[in-house]
Amino acid sequence: MTNSSILEKLNLKNKTALVTGASRGLGRRFSTVLSKMGANVVLAARNKDKLKETEQIIKNFNGECITVDIDVNSEESISRAFEKGENKYGEISILINNAGIAVSKSSLKTSIEDWDNVINTNLRGVFACSKVFANNLVKQKKPGKIVNISSIAAEIVLGNYLSSYCASKAAVSHLTRTMAFEYAKYNIQVNAIAPGYILTDLNKNFFETDEGKEMIKTIPQKRLGKPEELDGALLLLCSELGSFMTGSIIRVDGGHVIG
């Protein structure tokens, strides 16, 4: 395969992606990367001010995007978001299920409301968005790609205070496999990225504490990941380079799980 054919397969021109949780952090990074590779991006989140910041970043390099309000717990809200994106760009063929939250409490102190909030956002939201997305493509008899954002928390225990988060991400990883099996006959690929500890504005202060520094020492590569180190996995799963992949969970963690 020549360099030009590799780049051609990576190109996302004329593709449209909807990214949930696009207002900040990894969602903002994913949206920016997809746009730079030529995709139209539907930026979906509830924080309108932060969403506008992501939109401006993309428009600064002449990328094409629109913002949509979305509640991933509401099928009606999800359908409206997809409808708005399709009215602007036509068929949406890539879905990045990135929206997620964590409640840092021991299981003894996690309320049922806390539990429901995490499970509803991290798991139910993935299911609901995927369902709307897949139904749209099945009706149109078009192929598509779903990329779920799981976590190494699906495989290992991350401390004493993330039981609901770990449970939700384990479920997301297995939901990825079950949907991949079901959707394969419709030519809809379903894969996931499972990041380890990635440095973001949200966790920067914690990793500067003594406890945070001790956690970094448990990673075989002895450092945190950078958001851009997820770009390769994202583009592989969104482009034609990953055309024979479905049901895969790509771990990007500096060796954390094997350590």
239, two tokens: 């482009």
Cβ-based neighbours of 204, under 8 Å, separated by 6 or more:
none
Question: Among residues 228, 224, 222, 193, which one has the least CA distance to residue 206?
Answer: 224
Distance CA 126, CA 60 (A): 30
Catalytic annotation on 186?
Answer: no
What are the residues facing 42 on neighbouring strands?
A: 18, 66
Question: Among residues 231, 65, 240, 6, which one has the least CA distance to residue 143?
Answer: 240
The catalytically annotated residue of 89, 165, 183, 197 is: 165
| In contact, 66 and 39? CB cutoff 8 Å | no
What is the chain's length? 259
Can you list the positions of beta strands (E) in 27-99?
40-45, 65-69, 94-97
| The residue type at 249 | I
What are the residues facing 20 on neighbouring strands?
A: 44
Catalytic residues: 165
